[in-house]
Every structure is written in structure tokens, then in C-alpha cells.
Amino acid sequence: MAPHFLTILDMTCADAWKVLGKAADMKAEDYRSNLLAGKSIALVFEKASTRTRVSFEVAIAHLGGRAIFMTSQDSQLGRHEPVRDTARVLSRYVDGMVVRTFGHDKLKELAAHSAVPVVNALSDDYHPCQVLSDILTIREHASDLTGVRVAYVGDGNNMAHSWINAAVHFPIELTLATPEQYAPNPRILEHALSLGAKVRLTHDPVSGVAGANYVYTDVWASMGQEAEQDARAKVFSPFQVNEALLSRAAPGCMALHCLPAHRGEEITDEVMEGPRSLLWDQAENRLHMQKAILEWVFDSGARAD
């Protein structure tokens, strides 16, 4: 069976590099193929999305397949039917599932009982498709990733975890700057460090961005955490990515954000609309990376030997 893609560590290092190169080539040639001709892919989204949904639907179409979009209102996932039953039923209808959900355990259970590949389009713990797109964006500006310094500033959430995992496969130097009570999962960090990732954790945003070539942020309250918004805003206010903070990074430092952004909270309009912003390249690169990921999943020849 084709592989599941639940975290970037489901790929070997060689595979991750191969997918990165393939996405760049696909972007350069406006790639189309018939890889998914005759195949239907279910997009099961319990969380709303713009970039993830559209990029995957277009990517599937560019590869010759058909996307079937399902919200939580359209499926039994997370309702009365056990996840394993949903997995078994959908496996008999479709050729793959792209799932955007809350708890990562639900995604793991879905994959464990599915006879077709499952791709993580976002869970509360990981967002692997996004971080690969981000690495692609950085590589377009820094052809050699060795020693590139990335500072992640904000909540130790699924994006922080995905950056930690990315540092296992790619030779970046990652610093995470989070409030102490919102640090990333220590188990995820310890595992990455044991695999050789170069990752540093600090609770000081100024120290975190020192020497950084790229400064990355995300919303302070993710979907499902809206009730915490006001409390989080007070804690996270020193972690806002603004021109003052970027001035403490390396000269020429660029800013990234996975979007959607809460303008004026975790990032300012001035940064988003200014010459340091790579946000729109990031958003575009979701499409090219989704195609490369789908090819890796469905074409065994796209995986490293």
C-alpha cells in the first residue's frame, strides 16, 4: 500500500529532499500529469481552510484526479461512528484521504484502519504539508540550506512541532521563542534532538531572533482555542513580529507566516505588506508542494531508493 503522510518524519531524509526538489521543478514548469487519472481523493475537513483546501483540490486536478470535499457535517468522522469504521468505509470508496482535523490521535487511528493512504492536512500536533512548503520558500531565497537560521516566534503549536521535525531532515539551525507556559511538546523536541536536529528553545523573543535569517510566526490562538484569545494576547504581546523585533535579527532577515494572520496581533501590517514579507510566496508554494507530496504518496518511483 502507498504510504501515509502524517508527519514529515514519515519520509526519510532522502525522500524529503527529493520531494523538495520535485516541488521546485513542478513550480518551474507549471506541472500537470495523469498520475491520479481515474482516482478519487476524499478531502475530509473538520477544520475550515482556504489555502489547504484550494491547493489540494487544484493539485489533485492537476494530477488528473477528482477531489471529494467533506466537512464535519458531511461525514461521520468525530460524530457517532467510530473513526475506525469511517476509515474502513471510505477506503472502499476512494483512493486516498486528505484529512484536516483536531486531535492527532484521530488521524493515527484513521490511518491505522485505512486501506488507502492518509495525508495529514493539519492536526493539532502537526502541519507537515505547510512546513515543507515553507522550506521550499526559504530554499528559493537561500539555495544552500546548510546553516540557515530560522527563528519561530510565538505559540509552541503544530507549526512549532513541524519545524522541529523539519530540522531533523534539513540542515537548518532552528530557534523557538515561546512563552514558557506555551512551549512546544518536550517529547517532540527531545526526539528531534536525539536524531541530530539543531534546535534551541528560549522564552525571550529578542534572543530568539538574534542572527536569524528568517523569522516565522503563527496565530496566538489556533482553531478550537478561541476562548483563550484574550488571555493569550496578554502573554504573547512581546512576541509580536514587527519591525522592531526584525531589526534584532540578521541583516536582510525575511518574515514568514503560514496564514491566516491576525493582523496587528502576532504580526503587523507593516511587516506583512513590506519588503521583508515572503507570505504570498509561501501561500503559492502550498500548491506546488501538495502536488509533490501526492506524487510521493501515489508514485513509488517518486520515493528515494
Q: Which of 4, 10, 62, 130 is catalytic?
A: 130
- Of 14, 97, 105, 113, which Cα lies nearest the Cα of 298? 97
Q: Is 127 annotated as a binding residue?
A: yes
Q: Is 158 annotated as a binding residue?
A: yes
Q: Is 277 annotated as a binding residue?
A: no
Q: Which of 4, 53, 100, 169 is catalytic?
A: 100
Q: Which of 127, 149, 161, 169 is catalytic?
A: 127
Active site residue 282: no
Q: Is 123 annotated as a binding residue?
A: no
Active site residue 181: no
The whole-angstrom separation of Cα 269 and Cα 273 is 6
Q: Is 223 annotated as a binding residue?
A: yes
Q: Is 262 annotated as a binding residue?
A: no
Q: Is 128 annotated as a binding residue?
A: yes
- Of 10, 12, 62, which Cα lies nearest the Cα of 295? 62
Active site residue 127: yes
Q: Is 272 annotated as a binding residue?
A: no
Q: What CA–CA distances, in Å, run from 46 to 36, 109, 258, 291?
A: 24, 15, 19, 22
Q: Is 218 annotated as a binding residue?
A: yes
Q: Is 259 annotated as a binding residue?
A: yes
Q: Is 181 annotated as a binding residue?
A: no
The whole-angstrom separation of Cα 275 and Cα 252 is 10
Q: Is 1 annotated as a binding residue?
A: no
Q: Which of 4, 104, 149, 286 is catalytic?
A: 286
The whole-angstrom separation of Cα 4 and Cα 230 is 37
Q: Is 73 annotated as a binding residue?
A: no
Q: Which of 124, 258, 282, 290 is catalytic?
A: 258
Q: Which of 10, 124, 134, 218 is catalytic?
A: 218
The whole-angstrom separation of Cα 95 and Cα 113 is 14
Active site residue 258: yes
Binding-site residues for carbamoyl phosphate sit at 49-52, 76, 100, 127-130, 258-259, 286
Binding-site residues for L-ornithine sit at 158, 218, 222-223
The set of catalytic residues is: 100, 127, 130, 218, 258, 286
Binding-site residues sit at 49-52, 76, 100, 127-130, 158, 218, 222-223, 258-259, 286
